[in-house]
Amino acid sequence: MHIVIPAERLAGERRVAATPDTVKKLVGAGHAVTVERGAGIQAAIPDAAYAEAGAKLSEQRQALLAQADIALTVRMPAAADLEALKPGAALIGMLAPYGNPLLPELAARGISAFALELLPRTTRAQSMDVLSSQNNIAGYKAVLLAAEYYPRFMPMLMTAAGTVKPARLLVLGVGVAGLQAIATAKRLGAVVEAYDVRPATREQVESLGAKFIEVPMTDEEKAASGGVYAREMTAEFLARQNALLAKRAAAADIVITTALIPGKPAPRLLDAAAVAAMRPGSVIVDLAAEAGGNCELTRAGEAWQTDNGVHLVGLANLPALLAADASSLYARNLLAFLGLLLGAEGLRIDLADDLIAATLLTHQGEQRFGAAPTPAVPAPARQEPHHHG
């Protein structure tokens, strides 16, 4: 197979979908690999390192894509890039499947597109889990960003001039990013509290030395809060939750929010009143900024300060700020996923494989994800045509 790695063109994206280590393994397995020149520069990987690993280098982006049997990317390519891909080619990356307007175009061109964000959170998928590998980095970087904006020390310090109290840090959302934020903040000496709608995360929080905050729940609410991902809860529960979180935020110096619901706007955990009650110099780092933010006042892609002196950090794509390690982990995830697709006969898409079926957005001219269902009864002749999306 001919596997190509184009440079990422999305603003602020510094990662790359392959490293010399993964290229070497693909070439060793008998595949041809071509990398667009400069693709790894912002991830601290020079072109020469790819060439040494056995890849060819290309400066012609459209020609590169046109040759691809498989294109590996970090983010969804632009429409002009998709037009260069040949029918039957595979596109693999973090393709932002929810509401993506380019999915019909992928289907129309006969591309087999895989969105790795949709991988089930199962033991078999762990080595391919791009969300875990990248969220781990985001949680770490969120604490470093908080330390940068926070005008005090994180740890307790005892000096001849007096004692400095440790920072009080609150983590909202205890997935992979939240757990890494807790661990990083503890290493920096902060006193840490954490909250998640899933009571089952208490043990993980306490194992890292943080205090778990719990909102009282009814039996029905406990049933709804199960599972790997947070789900939307009742209005009554949300009112109790937000009142408690506002109280804990007012006592905190730093709040890091990480709560996301796949395919939905981020849950609102802190309103404007909660931010107004926080102390001057406090910091909120909102990792859900691109999904609307867990804080009402978050501005996606910005860091700004409120009138009462609270820093609100809504910077996007934190893994790209640590592009070298982020790319290394991501490339290994892709290599593991390719193990499901590459066989002696070339590209093999087994729809009976649960990991392949879950991530496959488009295949053989069909949009498998996000398309409106086909009506059971033919539409009346005068009805406006239905647009898939």
126 is catalytic: yes
Q: At 226, is the pLDDT very low, low, confident or very high (cuts 50, 70, 90)?
A: low
195 is catalytic: no
For residue 382, is pLDDT > 60?
no
Give the position of tokens 């006042």. 297
Calculate mean pLDDT across residues 344-350: 88
- State residue 168's pLDDT score: 98
Of 101-110, 162-171, 378-387, the range with the lowest mean pLDDT is: 378-387
Q: Which of 58, 67, 112, 132 is catalytic?
A: 132
* Between 231 and 143, residue with greater pLDDT: 143
Q: Which of 9, 37, 75, 121 is catalytic?
A: 121
Other CB atoms closer than 10 Å to residue 122's CB: what's the count? 12
For residue 227, is pLDDT > 50?
yes
For residue 386, is pLDDT > 70?
no
Q: Which of 61, 67, 112, 129 is catalytic?
A: 129
pTM, to two decimals: 0.90
- The C-alpha atoms of residue 65 and residue 127 are separated, in whole angstroms, by 27
- State residue 377's pLDDT score: 43
* Between 227 and 78, residue with greater pLDDT: 78
- State residue 224's pLDDT score: 67
Could you give the 3-state DSSP secondary structure of residue 212? strand
The model's pLDDT over 124-175, given as tens digits with 9 standing for 90+, comes to 999 999 999 999 999 999 999 999 999 999 999 998 999 999 999 999 999 9
| 93: nearest Cα among 327, 263, 259 | 327
Q: Which of 124, 152, 187, 229 is catalytic?
A: 229
Q: At 384, is the pLDDT very low, low, confident or very high (cuts 50, 70, 90)?
A: very low
Calculate mean pLDDT across residues 348-366: 96
Q: What length is written for the chain?
A: 389
Q: At 235, is the pLDDT very low, low, confident or very high (cuts 50, 70, 90)?
A: confident
- State residue 378's pLDDT score: 44
Give, as one character, the DSSP assignment of residue 295: B
- The C-alpha atoms of residue 278 and residue 290 are separated, in whole angstroms, by 23
For residue 84, is pLDDT > 80?
yes
- State residue 225's pLDDT score: 63
- State residue 372's pLDDT score: 56
Output the CA angle 229-117-58, nearest 5 degrees: 160
- The C-alpha atoms of residue 43 and residue 17 are separated, in whole angstroms, by 10
Question: Do residues 43 and 327 lie in contact, with contact meaning Cβ atoms separated by under 8 Å?
Answer: yes
132 is catalytic: yes
For residue 103, is pLDDT > 80?
yes
- State residue 345's pLDDT score: 79
Alpha carbon 27 to chain centroid, angstroms: 29
For residue 374, is pLDDT > 80?
no
Could you give the 3-state DSSP secondary structure of residue 85? coil
Q: Which of 126, 127, 207, 305 is catalytic?
A: 126
The model's pLDDT over 9-36, given as tens digits with 9 standing for 90+, comes to 999 999 999 999 999 999 999 999 999 9
For the chain, give the mean pLDDT.
92
121 is catalytic: yes
The model's pLDDT over 266-308, given as tens digits with 9 standing for 90+, comes to 999 999 999 999 999 999 999 999 999 999 999 999 999 999 9
